[in-house]
A and B are shown apart, each in its own frame.
Chain A
Amino acid sequence: MKLNVGWFSFTCCEDSTIVFIELMNERFFEWRKLINFKYFRTFKSNNSIDDLDIAFVEGAISSRKEEETLRKIRENSKKLVAIGSCACTGSPANQRNFFDEKTKNEIQFILDRFNHKEFVLPLSDLVKVDDYISGCPMDEKIFLAKLDQYFKEFELINA
């Protein structure tokens, strides 16, 4: 048995994805025994969001399409974890929320064309978030401790 994991990214610079991949430098073979990556677009093309134990979600939500996908991920996951500052707080991906009227008018046609939302939002404004790994990029130690906790909670390693 393995932990069914999805790793997702929305509006952000994907710095925490890079940190996660760097954490694999020392842990790949251990994690390969414990984790089934059902969704990880950065690494594979055959992806599925069905029946996830954990969804790790990086980035803020800036378009209606992203919101719809996030809600689907939530419905299909036992736990949803916000990864990094943009997912946890919206910032800095949400900087357009704070533009003055003139600058907002300047970018409005892009927001219209690509069906963006009026405001860029952190995940918790739209769905229930079970855990937060904050930092820009995410804090490695907090992430590793949380993953270890999940391995125990889902009985993949002894508590």
Chain B
Amino acid sequence: MHDNLDINIEQLSKTEGHADLEVKIRKGKVEDVKLKISENKRFYTQAVRKRHYSSIPQFVSRICGTCSIAHLTCCIKAVEKCLDIEPSEQIQIQRKLSVYGMMIRDHALHLYFFCLPDIFSKDSIFDFDSSKDNLIKQAFAVKSAGNNLSKLIAGRAVHPTLQKIGYFSKIPSKEQIREMIDQLKKTREHVFELIELFYNSNFEFSRETNFIALDSKDYSFLDGSIVTSTGLKVKEEDFWNYLERIIIPYSQATGFKFSTKEYMVGALARMNLNKDKLYIDSKKELNQFLKVFPSNNIYYNNLAQAIEILHCLDHSIQLLETNEFKSQSPPKLTLKGERRGIGVIEAPRGTLYHHLEINRASKVTYANFVIPTAQNQIKMENDIRLLLPKILNKQKHEIYHELEKVIRAYDPCMSCASHFLKLKWI
């Protein structure tokens, strides 16, 4: 038992971006916990002002390398609202496929490379012995399927080039689609092994949580209302009215509360609130695993991510097999006076909100971006505070590891989180 202990983890590992953790234990009690998102701000909220609206989606894609497709898609949605553009059914299908590719790649990276070392008590995949070679091959096969799907549909998996306001500038050939379907089908079996691994893991940290997610009717991450575990249903454009920015002076990211309380967004929230909408073929085969949801166990966030990979593979196969893709022309972009547009989607790490206001001269006058990891920040820090008393009897290095592990379960992305500070500190 540690009566007095100072923990200072500089740069948490196996996460996207930079964050530090400081803990102070005195007389066996948790005196202070500071989760500091230390990613240096790049001021996108300010930088988009005075720019022409048509340049914003590609620009804000640079907020984040790993989920650039999420920022691009969400921002295009906000701009299209300003321009009264209603995307055609085909475009909506292409966007689903583009986002599915990102989800597969992004979740696979987190699960195989950041979380599996914890399950096998290793520091990294570089420390795995040859008995795990097959699993590593599966990991790269799954990641590669997601990467290639985004490349095929959106041009690139990172900062995609084909996905534009109101259209896609190139469509895949029939031959490419056939090859893609084959690759996705071959990848399926690997995902069951991944799901089993996270289902059988005995990691647990549970506490009552208000979960929040979009209730897309086909679990496609792109539309629906915002729903909560407490039973609220909120329109996309009203989300901001329920949010409260919380200034955390030592963090370069703002925290958020929903209706004055902490909450969580992400795969666990989606699975808890919307598992009935998963693709029918996936659902049939996942019955046993889906029974654990709804769950408050933060480590089931990773099981939920693994299940989402299978859903994305299966729904992509169906969409590619049953749709014809026709070339599209760019729409005429007409702005009818000053406008406000709000886009909301589910990014890999949870609900993402882009709000843009545009003046008559087509320039952005105001932007507000609400990022999943920033929304989870308060709950992550409180988890650490509540977990510590349970693990203070462990060795110091084990405590370090347990703390990193619980933060990692959220799959936080600090690169995204740190760019949207309020203008005045309290």
Chain B residues in the interface with A (C-beta under 8 A) = 11, 13-18, 39-44, 46-47, 49, 59, 62-66, 68, 105, 109, 113, 123-127, 133, 136, 140-141, 143-144, 147, 157-159, 249, 252, 404, 415, 421, 423-425
Contact = CB atoms under 8 A, between A and B. Distances in A.
* 10 nearest A-B residue pairs (beta carbon): A15-B65, A44-B124, A45-B13, A25-B144, A14-B65, A95-B47, A13-B65, A11-B40, A25-B140, A62-B40
B423 A43 contact: no
A137 B66 CA distance: 11
A109 B425 contact: yes
A66 interface: yes
Interface string A44-82: 111100000000000000110010000000000000000
Nearest to A99: B46
Contact of A106 (B46, B64, B147): B46
A38 B124 CA distance: 12
Central interface residue in A15, A62, A106, A114, by most chain B CB within 10 Å:
A15
A107 interface: yes
Is the contact region of chain B dominated by helix, strand, or loop, or is it mixed?
loop
Contact of A96 (B17, B47, B421, B424): B47
A96 B40 contact: no
A90 B62 CA distance: 13
A42 B110 CA distance: 10
Contacts, number: 126
A107 B43 contact: yes
A32 interface: yes
Central interface residue in A21, A62, A113, by most chain B CB within 10 Å:
A21
A42 to B, nearest CB: 7
A146 to B, nearest CB: 19
Contacts of A110: 41, 252, 421
A106 to B, nearest CB: 6
Contacts of B43: 95-96, 99, 107
Contacts of A18: 65-66, 109, 157-158
A136 B13 contact: no
Contacts of B41: 107, 110, 114
A37 interface: yes
A31 B70 CA distance: 31
A24 to B, nearest CB: 7
8 contacts: A12-B415, A14-B65, A15-B65, A28-B140, A43-B124, A44-B13, A95-B43, A95-B44
A134 interface: no
A15 B158 contact: yes
Interface residues of A, number: 46
B46 A96 contact: yes
A43 B125 contact: yes
Nearest to A114: B252
B65 A17 contact: yes
Contacts of A92: 42, 47, 59, 62
A26 B65 CA distance: 20
Interface string A95-114: 11001000100110110011
A139 B15 CA distance: 24
A16 interface: yes
A152 interface: no
A41 interface: yes
Given A136-B62, A137-B158, A42 B47 contact: no
B23 to A, nearest CB: 16
Contacts of B49: 103
A15 B159 contact: yes
Contacts of A137: 65, 158-159
Contacts of A44: 13-14, 123-124, 126-127
B404 A13 contact: no
A87 interface: no
A92 B55 CA distance: 14
Given A14-B65, A22-B144, A95-B42, 5 more contacts: A13-B64, A25-B147, A107-B43, A114-B40, A137-B159
Contact of A37 (B63, B126, B158): B126
Given A19-B158, A37-B126, A14 B17 contact: yes
Interface in A89-148: 92-93, 95-96, 99, 103, 106-107, 109-110, 113-114, 116, 136-137
A19 B144 CA distance: 11
Contacts of B158: 15, 18-19, 137
Nearest to A58: B65
B53 to A, nearest CB: 17
A63 B63 CA distance: 18
Central interface residue in A24, A62, A63, by most chain B CB within 10 Å:
A24
